Structure 1
Amino acid sequence: MLGCTTADAPVKQQESSQPEAEAYFTNPIADGADPWVYKKDGVYYFCSSGNGGIQVSKSEKLTELGEKVLVWETPDTGWNKSNVWAPELHHFNGKWYIYYAAAKKPGGPFLHQRSGVLESVADDPFGPYVDKGMLYTGDSIQYAASAPKWAIDLTPLPLNGQLYAIWSGWKSDADTDKTKQHLYMATMSNPWTISSNRVLISSPEEPWETGGPLDLNEGPQVLKHQGKVFIIYSTRESWLKEYRLGQLTLSDTLLNPMEAAHWVKSGPVFEGTDEVLGVGHCSFTTSPDNTEHWILYHSKKSEEPGWDRNIRAQEFTWTADGFPDFGTPVPAGVPLPVPSGQEE
């Protein structure tokens, strides 16, 4: 080759054989809480509340959330004009749906939270969206319009051709928000219609779910793996450092999920440390090349009671018998390899 000497060749060969440097990121990846991510066609869509409504962003990188776009503004009047919490973005049958909680009155006490859903006009996660109204979350389906119950954190579960809704609610409406929260499930006839009375599937009863000022089960999220269905949920108090994750397991997808006895509880499956406080309200996805499983969750910024939190990402694995192993939350600032297949 012109201009190449024998002395040059070994050097060039050595350089070309060197592996590429591995890319890293550190937590937290963003400010905020209740992280929700939905992966479609190799793109990550993140959904959050803020700026007077609900925002969506997109990114090809799991560890970078992208620019937030306001896709729905709260109305001036109605049941959902205030207190928009924990929206989730889902895709069914060529449409996008956003499930969220909201209230007719701003601020606390938080007595009026209900769950609703938005539907995209076209197959576009950035909308526009049509408000499909409040979802029925009560005990008397024949009187659904007049008997909604307090409900937040609703998430859908498609299973064996049937769509279900899972959410956190109160047994009865109360005059104080210092009320226990339980997990409920109901059938859905389509992504915007609940078609049955609710069934109680979990209450805060275990020692690791209780002991604080208020016992909570909330933030249910679905995982499926090797013929099992998992509901990973948050428990203890969201404003305290003891916030953590519990797990319900449906050991066989052929079992009826509407029967509480079919769900086996275990936990805590992910909890804070002295350096990472109050871990909870998660969502799940895979790496860009689909070889890794990842959890997004929020944690508290200090030990002081409150909701000042940030968002973190971490890979998790599976045990030999098919259960998720979330490990231990990695402290802020510790370098972690970026998700497999993510380009820098």
Structure 2
Amino acid sequence: MNPKSLVVPLFYGLLLSACAFSCVGTSQQQAEESKAATEKTFTNPIADGADPWVIRKDGYYYTCGSGRGGIYVSKSKKLTEPGERVVVWKAPESGWNRSNVWAPELHFFGGKWYIYYAAAKKPGGPFIFQRSGVLESVSDDPFGPYTDRGMLYTGDNLQDTATVKWAIDLTPLELNGRLYAIWSGWEENAPTDKTKQHLYIARMQNPWTISSNRVKISSPVELWETGGELDLNEGPQVLKHKDRVFIVYSTRESWLKEYRLGQLALTDTLQDPMQAKNWIKSGPVFQGTDQVFGVGHCSFAKSPDGTEDWIIYHAKKSTKPGWERDIRLQPYTWKADGSPDFGVPVPTGVPVKVPSGEEDL
């Protein structure tokens, strides 16, 4: 056979193969581009506000916040689109909790909802009268009505409740069948709000009663926690993953762009959380960039289908000192040692894929 007679068939064979490969590649690229074009996204921020709290129950996300002298709750099936804010409690006209209502959190225990919050007996600053309290729903409806269960004891002498100490950002921890309260407080009450803040823990008898004296588990002592106008630890949030327990908290000054997140990790879930030595500190685990400023005071939620983890947090609207803030969220992952990897804050206006399972809601 003449070798030249093989050239044409071989040429066309190679051409067809190349065409087939190119067509497959083009088809895949078009499919990916089409998917990207139809992929639902959102951009940060999702709302104005600060100290965001989100909890998911029975297919709905409930957010909780403060404003206009009271506490609101909203309901939505979408993490990226909080529902209408409904005021569920108004501060009384007199008493220890008539003013400065801060950072409420909504929790569900034993068929009822509880809202933990901070408030004061006098409006405005200096903010030296902040104490922590709790509201209890009369039914399983998160929109209330709520009964005021009073001030929680956050001091060093449980036998003398008048010795309660300055306390904000209280959050509960359930561990090994026991309930604990964790919050940010002062070592002693003081005449100035330029006072160092620490993290404390105490045992709880039930969701509305602290049953032990407090124990300090963290102070702002690391280089990344200090160096500004005021050293503080605040906004503690419990984060559990498999066999790990973390407290993710805010540090540095809330009114400055350096505000950031630190982390305490319980050495072993069988260890006593009331022992400070059993908590290992690391950080910063999440901090601002030249595009997103002063990130802090977070909460956590799963995507609607339960496959993704999301952090909800606030950031400053500018680098100018102050408390003008907005609410943001983004997914995060986990490191090989089981600790969270929050990455870096997503800049304003950059598209982020909506949480998995939210696409068809």
TM-score, structure 2 length as denominator?
Answer: 0.90
Structure whose CA Rg is larger: 2
Check whether the contact 1:51–1:70 (CA below 8 A) recurs between aligned residues.
no
1:284 maps to what in 2? 300
Instruction: State the 1:266 CA deviation.
Output: 0.1
Check whether the contact 2:69–2:100 (CA below 8 A) recurs between aligned residues.
no
Question: Which whole-Å CA distance do the structure 2 matches of 1:170 and 1:251 have between them?
Answer: 25
Question: Which whole-Å CA distance do the structure 1 matches of 2:74 and 2:347 have between them?
Answer: 26
Q: Please identify, of 267-276 and 47-56, the stretch whose mean Cα deviation from structure 2 is larger.
A: 47-56
Please say if 1:60 is aligned against 2:70. Answer: no
1:207 maps to what in 2? 223
Question: Which whole-Å CA distance do the structure 2 matches of 1:115 and 1:27 have between them?
Answer: 31
Q: Matches of residues 264-283 of structure 1 in structure 2 within 5 Å?
A: 264-283=280-299
Q: Matches of residues 136-147 of structure 1 in structure 2 within 5 Å?
A: 136-144=153-161, 146-147=162-163
Please say if 1:125 is aligned against 2:137. Answer: no
SS of residue in 2 equivalent to 1:142: coil
Structure 1: gaps (5+ residues):
1-14
Aligned residue among 217, 220, 234 for 1:218: 234
Please say if 1:187 is aligned against 2:196. Answer: no
AA aligned to 2:191 is D
Residues 212-269 of structure 1 deviation map (CA, whole Å, 9 limit, x = unaligned): 0100100000001121110000000000000000000003110100000000000000
Question: Which whole-Å CA distance do the structure 2 matches of 1:86 and 1:76 have between them?
Answer: 20
Residues 169-199 of structure 1 deviation map (CA, whole Å, 9 limit, x = unaligned): 0000000000000000000000000000000
Residues 2-50 of structure 1 deviation map (CA, whole Å, 9 limit, x = unaligned): xxxxxxxxxxxxx999758210000000000000001001100000001
AA aligned to 1:340 is S
Structure 2: gaps (5+ residues):
1-29
Q: Matches of residues 18-57 of structure 1 in structure 2 within 5 Å?
A: 21-57=38-74
1:97 maps to what in 2? 114
Task: Report the number of matched residues.
Answer: 330
Q: Matches of residues 1-344 of structure 1 in structure 2 within 5 Å?
A: 21-144=38-161, 146-342=162-358, 343-344=360-361
Check whether the contact 2:288–2:294 (CA below 8 A) recurs between aligned residues.
yes
SS of residue in 1 equivalent to 2:159: helix
Question: Which whole-Å CA distance do the structure 2 matches of 1:330 and 1:252 have between them?
Answer: 33
AA aligned to 1:62 is L
Q: Please identify, of 313-322 and 179-188, the stretch whose mean Cα deviation from structure 2 is larger.
A: 313-322
Question: Which whole-Å CA distance do the structure 1 matches of 2:90 and 2:265 have between them?
Answer: 37
AA aligned to 1:105 is K
Instruction: State the 1:285 CA deviation.
Output: 0.6
Higher helix share: 2
Percent identity (aligned): 73
Check whether the contact 2:303–2:310 (CA below 8 A) recurs between aligned residues.
yes
AA aligned to 2:183 is W
Question: Which whole-Å CA distance do the structure 1 matches of 2:31 and 2:352 have between them?
Answer: 26
Instruction: State the 1:51 CA deviation.
Output: 2.4
1:7 maps to what in 2? none
CA RMSD of aligned residues (A): 1.5
Question: Which whole-Å CA distance do the structure 1 matches of 2:270 and 2:175 have between them?
Answer: 9
TM-score, structure 1 length as denominator?
Answer: 0.94
AA aligned to 2:269 is T
SS of residue in 2 equivalent to 1:208: helix
SS of residue in 1 equivalent to 2:38: coil
Residues 96-135 of structure 1 deviation map (CA, whole Å, 9 limit, x = unaligned): 0000000000000000000000000000000000000000
Question: Which whole-Å CA distance do the structure 2 matches of 1:51 and 1:213 have between them?
Answer: 29
Q: 1:197 to 1:334 in 2, by over 3 A?
A: same
SS of residue in 1 equivalent to 2:160: helix
2:17 maps to what in 1? none
Could you list the structure 1 runs, at least 4 aligned residues long, displaced by more than 3 angstroms after superposition. Answer: 15-20
AA aligned to 1:166 is I
Check whether the contact 1:156–1:165 (CA below 8 A) recurs between aligned residues.
yes
Residues 293-331 of structure 1 deviation map (CA, whole Å, 9 limit, x = unaligned): 000000000111000000000000001221100000010
1:12 maps to what in 2? none
